[in-house]
């Protein structure tokens, strides 16, 4: 049976928001989507970009995966499937977005799994293999300290920087950034506080917006 919560939510949308935004949906259906912003976020159910940024339909092109990771561009790896890379390619080359925001967050389960050497959930260990990307991040951050919570937060911040650096390995991204038609941004959401932190490009530090 289809989840009751989704059925109820859809009926609420059908009788509430849809009538007020019908013209917008009709325009989006007719003319297609033209978002200027792409957000690369975590799949965590507590960190929905559309909710955090109070976005309307068609405003944000969203990519979500475990721990908001952007792998490096690997054009020659023809035997692999690259969902995140494909979405970046579409957003930059087809939609011509003007901004890409890598949105990290507090209490990230993927980062915690890496930090705590969590046991695989399945034999293939898809999570472990995916999160192994942040090994160089952990090396730069250094070993755990007495302030373990602070250490994990630095890992979470480091993942945002890692993803921003990897975005620049995509030729189309680099070209657009160098031409000044695309800007890259790092952000970090505090789940408990609701505070949004923005990464300073010059210093690499995160400060409240």
Q: Tell me, yes or no, whether 41 and 12 share the same domain.
A: no
Q: 184, 186, 191: which is closest to 169 by C-alpha?
A: 184
Total Cβ atoms within 10 A of residue 170: 20
Is the separation of the CB atoms in 40 and 163 below 8 Å?
A: yes
Q: What is the pLDDT of residue 74?
A: 85
How many structural domains comprise the chain? 2
Q: Tell me, yes or no, whether 14 and 100 share the same domain.
A: no
User: CA–CA separation, 43 vs 32, rounded Å?
Assistant: 25
Name the 3-class secondary structure at 50: helix
Q: Tell me, yes or no, whether 11 and 54 share the same domain.
A: no
Q: Tell me, yes or no, whether 71 and 97 share the same domain.
A: yes
Q: Tell me, yes or no, whether 89 and 162 share the same domain.
A: yes
Q: What is the pLDDT of residue 81?
A: 73
Question: Which CATH number goes with the domain that contains 122?
Answer: 3.40.1050.10
Q: Tell me, yes or no, whether 1 and 85 share the same domain.
A: no
Q: Tell me, yes or no, whether 113 and 180 share the same domain.
A: yes
Is the separation of the CB atoms in 102 and 186 below 8 Å?
A: yes
Q: What is the pLDDT of residue 79?
A: 59
- Encoded tokens for 38: 């792409």
Sheet holding 37-42, edge to edge: 60-65, 37-42, 99-105, 183-189, 196-199, 206-208
User: CA–CA separation, 83 vs 130, rounded Å?
Assistant: 12
Q: Tell me, yes or no, whether 62 and 87 share the same domain.
A: yes
Q: What is the pLDDT of residue 75?
A: 76
Total Cβ atoms within 10 A of residue 15: 9
Q: What is the pLDDT of residue 173?
A: 98
Strand 183-189 and strand 196-199: the pairing is antiparallel
Q: What is the pLDDT of residue 78?
A: 59
Q: Tell me, yes or no, whether 51 and 142 share the same domain.
A: yes
Q: Tell me, yes or no, whether 69 and 168 share the same domain.
A: yes
Alpha-carbon distance values, 160 to 60, 68, 135, 182, 192 (Å): 19, 7, 14, 18, 19
Q: Who's near 37: CB < 8 A, 6+ residues apart?
A: 59, 60, 61, 97, 98, 99, 100, 101
Q: Tell me, yes or no, whether 6 and 105 share the same domain.
A: no
**Dihedral, 48, 178, 154, 188 alpha carbons, nearest 10:** -20
Q: pLDDT tens, 162-207?
A: 999 999 999 999 999 999 999 999 999 999 999 999 999 999 999 9
User: CA–CA separation, 115 vs 143, rounded Å?
Assistant: 10
Q: Tell me, yes or no, whether 60 and 143 share the same domain.
A: yes
pLDDT-flagged residues of the chain (< 50):
none
Q: What is the pLDDT of residue 88?
A: 98
User: CA–CA separation, 103 vs 197, rounded Å?
Assistant: 9
User: What is the pTM for the complete model shown?
Assistant: 0.95
Q: Which domain holds residue 27?
A: 1-32
């Amino acid at each position: 049976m289809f989840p009751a919560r989704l059925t109820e939510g859809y009926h609420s949308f059908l009788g509430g928001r849809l009538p007020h935004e019908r013209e917008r949906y009709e325009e989006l259906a007719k003319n297609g989507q033209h978002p200027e912003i792409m957000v690369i976020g975590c799949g965590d159910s507590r960190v929905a970009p559309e909710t955090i940024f109070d976005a309307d339909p068609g405003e944000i092109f969203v990519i979500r995966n475990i721990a908001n990771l952007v792998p490096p561009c690997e054009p020659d790896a023809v035997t692999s499937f690259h969902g995140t890379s494909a979405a970046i390619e579409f957003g930059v080359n087809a939609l011509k977005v003007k901004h890409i925001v890598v949105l990290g967050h507090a209490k990230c389960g993927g980062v915690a799994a890496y930090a705590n050497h969590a046991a695989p959930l399945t034999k293939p260990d898809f999570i472990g293999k995916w999160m192994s990307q942040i090994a160089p991040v952990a090396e730069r951050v250094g070993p755990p300290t007495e302030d373990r919570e602070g250490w994990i937060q630095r890992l979470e911040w480091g993942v945002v920087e890692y993803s921003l650096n990897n975005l620049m390995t995509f030729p189309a991204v680099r070209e657009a950034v160098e031409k000044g038609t695309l800007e890259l941004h790092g952000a970090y959401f505090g789940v408990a506080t609701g505070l949004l932190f923005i990464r300073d490009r010059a210093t690499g530090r995160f400060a409240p917006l």
